[in-house]
């Protein structure tokens, strides 16, 4: 039943030979890997306004300057990551660059920051997408958490179906967003140029804060607004992490797609910020800035709902960028033995299924924990992004100095500027957002690094212990074979035949829980066992496992055997739900002997018919 459900949701398996055909064209890759970056347009301007409005309407004059600084930063970071794509055409982004040039510890910090960022990207994007929906349909506001979790699950299922299939599905809403936002900006600018720009009407619910000043315009407030607006840079690194999803030549296609992404993103961010100032839009509880802007420019007709639908879709699909990059980064960490090896394995559809499932679980947990509130999640968001930015660009500077390839001075200058700029921004973000939630990320990163180190240490210890140093074939291996019985039936007799095949000196072991039942067991065993001795173990506390453990200890101590083999008869029901009607004694016996040395547990199954 589970297999049939999996095939219905995920589809039929794909052969390994089909992997090259899963590569994406540039337009489709733009939709898959740029949706996170493009979606930040929907809330970056709002985050700036939310801080500035604390100092009253007069402080809003700083909006354009802050947006301009963020746009310049975007250009610098984009140019820096194009250098990274050229140097690391196999992908890996900040983790690979930092590990190779700054050392393992720096690589793990960058990897931790990116993993946190990917989880937050899914949570923030889905929460913001749901907010866009509830802005148009306020009755759904109280159900935003359930809507968010269902959305995450749906995106995960689509990604489990494969990269190419999810890319084609997500390309349509991405380009709908691009066309609708471009139309909104053109219409808004046209009304401004012709002097027809109306002021956004004040509708209930009221604005988040009054326009009267509740804080002073200070350098700290300006820096805080700047750091809030830096969420516009989230997703910039996604293309450099996923170079291998492009068709050949991978690096050139990735660089070209990154240039497209930057041009579209900057046009939208600057356009929305400019129009928000011209139309005097203020943040408002229950309705996004983009919703207010669209309603003011075009009213509440069909185009308004197209813009809201496109915004909601791009925000929801922004999570898809993380579903492309989180599993890939996890596989790189797992290949280096810093995460469980299961993350390296590709699933039936040639995607890293385990990474997709873990990401969906973590993102859904955050949505529940923070009540699906975008503004509560965003302070956690940008810290990890800029940690990875800074480490990646710093690593690239050393990369240029080590290789001194043609044009290395220009490359070092670009990446050095990127490292310096993002380092300063990181300090600003950490300082201004620390008490607003960024402290959680600052604490989580070293915890993840410690976890990665512990996993790596475990794998190294396992490798050392499994390494063949010296091995002599023993003359003889001795073992005692115990057949655990609870009654005499076909399943037990089937296991008895198997036990005899292993060793002629089989002992049947019966744990006595009732005196009368034990008498009946002795009689029945004498009739059907063929002379195999029966050892009865008393159990005054009605435990099956403990007397068996004590008896195994006794055998190992007195007989000096190399192994004790326990044969467990187990019948398998014909229907999965029949399992619920039987106790799981065999399971608990296996669990208790799992960590015991020199003890082997063998299940001999007897399959029941319908």
With beta carbons less than 8 A apart as the criterion, state whether 546 and 539 touch. Answer: yes
Q: Which strands form 534-538's sheet, in the order they lie side by side? A: 534-538, 506-512, 479-485, 563-572, 599-607
Among the ranges given (12-21, 42-51, 466-475), the one the predictor scored with the smallest mean pLDDT? 12-21
Q: What is the mean pLDDT of residues 186-198?
A: 82
How far from 356 is each of 120, 217, 237, 345, 347, CA to CA, in Å? 14, 44, 19, 12, 10
Indicate whether 465 belongs to any domain. Answer: no
Query: At residue 383, does pLDDT exceed 80?
Result: no
Q: How confident is the model at residue 457 (pLDDT cuts 50, 70, 90)?
A: very high
DSSP 3-state of 490: helix
Max CA separation in the chain (angstroms): 105
pLDDT at 16 over 60: no
Residue 35 placed within a domain: yes
| 449 and 546 together in one domain | no
pLDDT above 80 for 58 = no
What is the pLDDT, as a whole number, of residue 179? 93
What confidence tier does 21 reach under pLDDT thresholds 50, 70, 90?
Answer: very low
Q: Which domain holds residue 277?
A: 21-459
pLDDT > 80? residue 150: yes
Bridge pairing between strands 506-512 and 479-485: parallel
Q: Report yes or no: 223 and 216 within 8 Å, Cβ to Cβ.
A: no
Range 294-303 average pLDDT: 88
Looking at the fold, whether 419 and 507 belong to one and the same domain comes out as no
* Residue where the block lists tokens 């010296």: 470
Say whether both 448 and 537 belong to one domain: no
pLDDT at position 10, please?
Answer: 60
Tokens of 195: 């002097």
Establish if 7 belongs to a structural domain. Answer: no
Question: Mean pLDDT lowest for which of 27-41, 94-108, 269-283, 292-306?
Answer: 27-41
- Band of the pLDDT at 96, cuts 50, 70, 90? confident
The CATH number assigned to the domain holding 536 equals 3.40.50.620
The mean per-residue pLDDT over the stretch 290-303 comes to: 89
pLDDT for 412-440, tens place per residue? 888 888 888 888 888 887 777 777 777 88
What percent of the chain is modeled with pLDDT above 90? Answer: 24
Do 412 and 556 share a domain, yes or no?
A: no
Q: Of 177, 212, 415, 185, nearest to 315 (Cα)?
A: 177
Same structural domain, 488 and 439: no
Side-chain half-sphere exposure of 365, counting CA atoms within 13 A: 7
CA–CA distances in Å: residue 193 to residues 443, 463, 519: 49, 70, 100
Mean pLDDT score, 207-227: 68
What is the distance between the alpha carbons of residues 246 and 244, in angstroms, rounded to a whole number?
Answer: 5
CA distance 341 to 333: 9
Whether 86 is in a domain gets the answer yes
The pLDDT value given to residue 188 = 92
Query: Is residue 391 within 8 Å of residue 78, measured between CB atoms?
Result: no
Domain annotation covers residue 88: yes
Question: Residue 367 falls within a domain, yes or no?
Answer: yes
Q: 554 and 589: one domain?
A: yes
CA atoms within 13 A on the CB side of 254: 31
Q: What is the pLDDT of residue 540?
A: 81
Residue 12 placed within a domain: no
Q: Give the pLDDT score at 261.
A: 92
Taking only the tens place, the pLDDT of each residue in 321-352 is: 788 788 888 988 999 999 998 888 876 666 77
Residue 360 in contact with residue 156, Cβ under 8 Å? yes
Total domains present in the chain: 2
Q: Are residues 350 and 293 in the same domain?
A: yes
How big is the CA angle at 172 (ends 182 and 135), to the nearest 5 degrees?
Answer: 65
515: tokens are: 């005196």
- pLDDT at residue 401 is higher than 60: yes
Per-residue pLDDT band at 281 (split at 50, 70, 90): confident
Domain boundary among 425, 459, 493: 459
Q: Is 9 a member of any domain?
A: no
The residue that leads in pLDDT, 377 or 562, is 562
Is the confidence at residue 117, as pLDDT, over 50? yes
Write down the pLDDT at residue 105.
Answer: 93
Q: Categorize the per-residue pLDDT at 19 as very low, low, confident or very high, splitting at 50, 70 and 90.
A: very low
Strand partners, 552: none
Whether the predicted pLDDT of 67 surpasses 60? yes
- Quickly count: other Cβ atoms within 10 Å of residue 150's Cβ: 14
Structure tokens belonging to residue 294: 């669209």
Question: What span, in angstroms and rounded, lies between the C-alpha atoms of 210 and 282?
Answer: 10
Q: Does 147 lie in the same domain as 71?
A: yes
Q: Please, what is the angle between helix 63-87 and helix 41-52, to 10°?
A: 140
Q: Are residues 232 and 282 in the same domain?
A: yes
Instruction: Evaluate whether 134 touches 144 at the Cβ level (below 8 Å).
Output: yes
Residues 283 and 334 in one domain: yes
Report DSSP state, residue 609: P
* Domain shared by 386 and 314, yes or no: yes
Residues 486 and 396 in one domain: no
Inter-axis angle of helices 302-335 and 26-39, nearest 10: 100
- Cβ atoms within 10 Å of 46's Cβ, excluding its own: 28
**pLDDT-derived band of residue 203, with 50, 70 and 90 as boundaries?**
very low
pLDDT of residue 386: 81
User: Residue 268: which residues within 8 A CB-CB, separation 6 or more?
Assistant: 38, 41, 181, 182, 185
259 exposure class (CB count in 10 Å sphere: 0-12, 13-18, 19+): middle
For residue 422, the surrounding DSSP H or E stretch is helix 408-433
Q: Is the pLDDT of residue 51 over 80?
A: yes
CATH number where 203 lies: 1.20.1740.10
CA gap 42, 57 in Å, rounded: 22
């Amino acid at each position: 039943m589970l297999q049939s459900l999996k095939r219905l949701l995920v589809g039929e398996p794909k052969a390994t030979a089909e992997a090259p055909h899963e590569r994406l064209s540039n337009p489709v890759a733009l939709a898959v890997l740029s949706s996170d970056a493009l979606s930040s347009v929907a809330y970056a301007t709002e985050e700036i306004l939310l801080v500035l409005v604390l100092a009253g309407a007069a402080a809003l004059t700083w909006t354009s300057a802050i947006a301009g600084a963020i746009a310049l930063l975007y250009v610098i970071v984009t140019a820096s990551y194009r250098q990274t794509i050229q140097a690391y055409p196999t992908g890996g982004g900040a983790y690979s660059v930092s590990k190779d040039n700054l050392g393992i510890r720096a690589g793990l910090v960058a990897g931790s920051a990116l993993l946190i960022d990917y989880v937050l990207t899914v949570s923030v994007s889905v929460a913001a997408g749901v907010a866009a929906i509830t802005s148009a349909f306020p009755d759904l506001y109280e159900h935003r958490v359930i809507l968010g979790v269902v959305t995450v699950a749906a995106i995960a299922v689509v990604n489990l179906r494969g990269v190419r299939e999810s890319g084609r599905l997500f390309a349509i809403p991405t380009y709908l967003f691009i066309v609708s936002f471009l139309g909104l900006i053109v219409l808004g600018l046209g009304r401004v140029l012709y002097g027809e720009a109306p002021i956004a009407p004040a509708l209930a619910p009221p604005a988040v804060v009054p326009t009267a000043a509740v804080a002073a315009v200070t350098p700290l407030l300006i820096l805080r607004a700047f750091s809030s607006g830096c969420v516009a840079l989230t997703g910039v690194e996604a293309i450099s992490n996923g170079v291998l999803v492009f068709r050949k030549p991978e690096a050139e296609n990735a660089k070209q797609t990154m240039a497209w992404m930057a041009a579209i993103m900057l046009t939208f961010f600057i356009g929305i910020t400019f129009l928000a100032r011209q139309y005097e839009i203020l943040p408002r509880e229950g309705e996004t800035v983009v919703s207010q802007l669209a309603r003011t420019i075009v009213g509440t007709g069909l185009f308004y709902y197209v813009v809201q639908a496109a915004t909601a879709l791009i925000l929801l699909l922004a999570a898809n960028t993380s579903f492309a990059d989180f599993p890939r980064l996890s596989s790189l960490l797992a290949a280096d033995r810093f995460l469980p090896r299961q993350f390296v394995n590709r699933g039936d559809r040639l995607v890293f299924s385990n990474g997709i499932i873990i990401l969906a679980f973590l993102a859904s947990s955050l949505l529940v924990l923070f009540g699906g509130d975008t503004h509560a999640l965003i302070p956690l968001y940008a810290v990890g992004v800029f940690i990875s930015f800074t480490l990646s660009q710093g690593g690239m500077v050393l990369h240029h100095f080590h290789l001194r390839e043609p044009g290395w001075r220009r490359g070092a200058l670009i990446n050095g500027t990127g490292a310096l700029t993002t380092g300063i921004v990181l300090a600003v973000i950490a300082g201004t957002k620390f008490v607003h939630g960024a402290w959680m990320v600052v604490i989580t990163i070293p915890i993840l690094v410690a976890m990665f180190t512990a996993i790596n240490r475990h794998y190294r210890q396992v490798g050392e212990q499994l390494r063949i140093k010296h091995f002599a074939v023993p003359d003889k291996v001795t073992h005692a074979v115990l057949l655990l019985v609870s009654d005499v039936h076909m399943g037990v007799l089937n296991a008895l035949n198997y036990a005899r095949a292993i060793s002629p000196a089989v002992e049947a072991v019966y744990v006595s829980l009732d005196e009368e039942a034990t008498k009946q067991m002795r009689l029945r065993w004498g009739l059907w066992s063929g002379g195999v001795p029966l050892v009865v173990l008393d159990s005054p506390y009605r435990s099956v496992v403990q007397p068996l453990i004590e008896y195994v200890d006794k055998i190992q101590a007195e007989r000096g055997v190399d192994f004790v083999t326990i044969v467990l008869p187990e019948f398998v029901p014909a229907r999965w739900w029949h399992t619920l009607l039987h106790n799981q004694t065999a399971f608990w016996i296996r669990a208790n002997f799992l960590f015991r040395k020199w003890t082997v547990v063998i299940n001999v199954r007897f399959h029941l018919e319908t």
